C-alpha cells in the first residue's frame, strides 16, 4: 500500500521539516507516502509550503501573521493541497475522478452542497501576534488548537497597539457592536495621547511590582488590553473558512479584519481551488442565501419569466440551477 520516498531532504525545502532519525522510527531515507500521492505524481512530489512566497504579513503597527506549516506538506507535482480534499472525498467512491479539472469540479460540488468533512483534511498552523482585545474576539472560534504566550511564566513585553489618528472611530448608532464614521482629529489626538500615557504608566507600575517580588500572574492585571500577545494557532480548512467568513466581512472590527485578510492571502496559493469555491458559494462572500419568505416574493413577482442558464461548462451545476429556477418560478431558456 505504501511506497518508499527517497531523499526526503530534497523535497522539504530549506530543511524546514526535520524527521527524527530515532530508533524505532523511520529515518529520512525510510519516509513513506501514500500510494495515491505516488501514483498521481509518478514519484515527483514537492513541499507545498513553497507555493506561499511571502509567509509573513505585517498587521496593524506591530502585529503579524506567519504561516508556519500546512498539512499535507508533501504534494504531487502539478497539484496543490487541494488534492487532499478530493483524496478524502474519493474514499467514498473508489478511484473516482483523476484529473485536476475533475478535482476542481468535485471541490466545487462539495462546497456547494456543504459536504464539509473533506475540507477538514487540510490544516494550517500560524504564528500570530495581535493585541489582547483582538485575541479575545479571535478565541471565540473554538474549533482550533491554541498555545498562547503566558503572562504567568514570562514577563509581558512593553509592546502596545496604538491606532493611527485616522482610525479612531465613532460608535455606530445602528449597531451596538460596530463603528461608523471617524472622530474629529482633536478628539482622536487627545485619546491617543491619553492612551500612550496610561499604557506607559501601567507598564512602569507592572515592572515595579515585578521588581518588588509580586507574582507575575497578579502583576499583569494592571496591563491594558491593547498590549500585544502572541500564539500558535492550528485549524483545519473547514473551520478556517468559517472564521474567515465572519472576520473578513465588512461588519467585523477592522483590527481583527486585517488579520483575517492576511490569513486569506497566505492560504490562497496553498488551496486555490477551495478558496475559489468558497468565494463563489459562501453566502457571506459572493453568494446569497434566500429565506422562504423571500422566495415567495420572487415567485409571485417573476413567475414564468425566462432566464439564462449558467455560464459554466459544469453540466451538474447547470442542472442544479434549473432546479433552483423552478423553485423560484422561473424558466431556464
pLDDT digits (tens, 9 = 90+) for 224-273: 999 999 999 999 999 999 999 999 999 999 999 999 999 999 999 999 99
- Above 60 in pLDDT, residue 313? yes
Looking at per-residue pLDDT, the higher value among 94 and 319 belongs to 319
List strands edge to edge, sheet with 56-59: 56-59, 63-71, 123-131, 228-236, 145-148
Of 9-18, 178-187, 189-198, 205-214, minimum mean pLDDT range: 9-18
Supply the mean pLDDT for the chain: 87
In this structure, what is the dihedral angle of CA atoms 46, 48, 49, 54, given to the nearest 10 degrees? 100
Q: Whole-model pTM?
A: 0.84
pLDDT at 102: 84
Structure-block grid coordinates of residue 73: 506538506
Phi and psi at 70, nearest 5°, equal -145, 145
The CA-based angle 234-131-236, given to 5 degrees, is 15
For residues 28-36, average pLDDT: 40
Average pLDDT (81-101) is 77
Residue 310 pLDDT greater than 60, yes or no: yes
Spatial distance between the Cα atoms of 309 and 295, rounded to a whole number of angstroms: 19
Q: What is the mean pLDDT of residues 51-80?
A: 96
What pLDDT band is residue 95 in, cutting at 50, 70 and 90? low
Q: And the C-alpha cell for 209?
A: 511590582
pLDDT of the residue at 172: 83
Mean pLDDT of the 41-51 span: 83
Instruction: List Cβ neighbours of 323 (8 Å cut-off, separation of 6 or more).
Output: none
pLDDT tens by residue, 154-163 = 999 999 999 9
Class of residue 208 by CB neighbours under 10 A (exposed 0-12, middle 13-18, buried 19+): exposed
Alpha carbon 297 to its chain's center: 36
Q: Report whether pLDDT(22) > 50.
A: no
CB neighbour burial string for 78-90, b if at least 16 within 10 angstroms, e if fewer: ebbbbbbbbbbbb
Q: What is the pLDDT of residue 92?
A: 65
Rounded Cα distance between 273 and 263, Å, is: 16
Res. 35: pLDDT tops 90: no
* The pLDDT of residue 99: 67
pLDDT higher than 50, residue 25: no
Kindly list the distances between the CA atom of residue 222 and the CA atoms of 60, 131, 226, 278, in Å, as whole numbers in the listed order: 23, 15, 12, 42
pLDDT at 333: 87
Q: How far is CA 232 from the centre of its chain?
A: 13
| Residues acting as catalytic residues | 247
Lowest mean pLDDT among 202-206, 260-264, 300-304: 300-304
How high is the pLDDT of residue 93? 60
Helix (H, G, I), strand (E, B) or coil at 181: strand
Predicted confidence (pLDDT) at residue 121 exceeds the cutoff of 90: yes
Amino acid at each position: 500500500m505504501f511506497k518508499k520516498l527517497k531523499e526526503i531532504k530534497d523535497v522539504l525545502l530549506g530543511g524546514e521539516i526535520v524527521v527524527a532519525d530515532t530508533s524505532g522510527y523511520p529515518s529520512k531515507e525510510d519516509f513513506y507516502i501514500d500510494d495515491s500521492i505516488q501514483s498521481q505524481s509518478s514519484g515527483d512530489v514537492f513541499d507545498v509550503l513553497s507555493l506561499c512566497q511571502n509567509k509573513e504579513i505585517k498587521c496593524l503597527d506591530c502585529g503579524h501573521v506567519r504561516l508556519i506549516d500546512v498539512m499535507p506538506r508533501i504534494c504531487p507535482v502539478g497539484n496543490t493541497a487541494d488534492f487532499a480534499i478530493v483524496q478524502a472525498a474519493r474514499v467514498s467512491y473508489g478511484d473516482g475522478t483523476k484529473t485536476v479539472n475533475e478535482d476542481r469540479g468535485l471541490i466545487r460540488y462539495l462546497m456547494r452542497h456543504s459536504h464539509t468533512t473533506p475540507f477538514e483534511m487540510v490544516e494550517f498552523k500560524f504564528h500570530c501576534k495581535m493585541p489582547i482585545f483582538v485575541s479575545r474576539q479571535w478565541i471565540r472560534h473554538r474549533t482550533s488548537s491554541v498555545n498562547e504566550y503566558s503572562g504567568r511564566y514570562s514577563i509581558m513585553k512593553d509592546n502596545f497597539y496604538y491606532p493611527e489618528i485616522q482610525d479612531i472611530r465613532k460608535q455606530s448608532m445602528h449597531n451596538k457592536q460596530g463603528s461608523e464614521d471617524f472622530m474629529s482629529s482633536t478628539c482622536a489626538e487627545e485619546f491617543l495621547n491619553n492612551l500612550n500615557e496610561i499604557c506607559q504608566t501601567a507598564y512602569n507600575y507592572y515592572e515595579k511590582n515585578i521588581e518588588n517580588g509580586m507574582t507575575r500572574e497578579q502583576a499583569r492585571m494592571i496591563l491594558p488590553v491593547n498590549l500585544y500577545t502572541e500564539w500558535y494557532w492550528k485549524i483545519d480548512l473547514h473551520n478556517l473558512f468559517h472564521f474567515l467568513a465572519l472576520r473578513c466581512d465588512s461588519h467585523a472590527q477592522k483590527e481583527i479584519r486585517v488579520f483575517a485578510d492576511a490569513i486569506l492571502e497566505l492560504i490562497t496559493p496553498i488551496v486555490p481551488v477551495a478558496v475559489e469555491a468558497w468565494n463563489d458559494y459562501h453566502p457571506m462572500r459572493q453568494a446569497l442565501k434566500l429565506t422562504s419568505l423571500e422566495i415567495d416574493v420572487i415567485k409571485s413577482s417573476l413567475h414564468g419569466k425566462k432566464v439564462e442558464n449558467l455560464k459554466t461548462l459544469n453540466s451538474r451545476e447547470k442542472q442544479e440551477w434549473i432546479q433552483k429556477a423552478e423553485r423560484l418560478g422561473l424558466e431556464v431558456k
